[in-house]
A and B are shown apart, each in its own frame.
Chain A
């Protein structure tokens, strides 16, 4: 593992969604590290139903931003996590759910690792899937599911509110 060794508990508790970034590139090797941690996420039946497309060209970032209203800033990179709809055996409804679960876990790995090495990220779902697929030249069986925008943070974000543990945690039965 590159970067500093940090406590995973602390990493989870201090990660925030970052929406302002410095105008500074992130190296391809660092971006590859993000994909590396993403591809080690668990997936149903070890299906690994993901493909990762990294956009770090400024013109492509602008184009993607125009079909992704959820992006409010200019990030250093946009990482598109796509799900694959061919090559393994589940029915479609199961496949959609399992794909989304796997992709979400890959995304979580990525944003936590990014935070641990000083890169801010924000997950974006407000985008037009078909337009992105067409812009990037993806085949029909590839579905862009989630965008991770990122870069070196140019803001400090305070902790948002969280439900209390007592409100959401039960032991053994649904009662307190």
Chain B
């Protein structure tokens, strides 16, 4: 593992623990957004290691494009996540 990858993982661990604490007092909609941010960070970690494929990078691009637009609207967020789950599960399926 590259040293910069380890640093990114450390940041993600810190982020997720801080998010977990904050979510105890924050609105319901914030939870999915924190997980979405974590997904982006995980893809960036895979990218850092040079093993991200084009589909994963496409998924990251889509998430980054859409996350601001859906963050305050439950219906839009639900629709976005429905598509995201299908995309990511298809990506996973194709790894085998």
Contact = CB atoms under 8 A, between A and B. Distances in A.
Contacts of B14: 66-67
Interface of B (DSSP majority class): helix
Contacts of A126: 22, 26, 30
Interface of B: 11-12, 14-15, 18-19, 21-22, 26, 30, 33-34, 37, 67-68, 71
Counting from the closest, the 4 A-B pairs by CB-CB distance are A69-B19, A66-B14, A66-B11, A67-B18
Nearest to B40: A72
Interface residues of A, number: 16
A20 B37 CA distance: 15
Nearest to A155: B68
Main secondary structure of the interface of A (DSSP, over half): loop
B11 A127 contact: no
11 contacts: A63-B11, A67-B15, A67-B18, A68-B18, A69-B15, A69-B18, A69-B30, A69-B37, A70-B22, A126-B30, A127-B18
A22 interface: no
A72 B11 contact: no
A131 B67 contact: no
Contacts of A20: 68
A62 B18 CA distance: 14
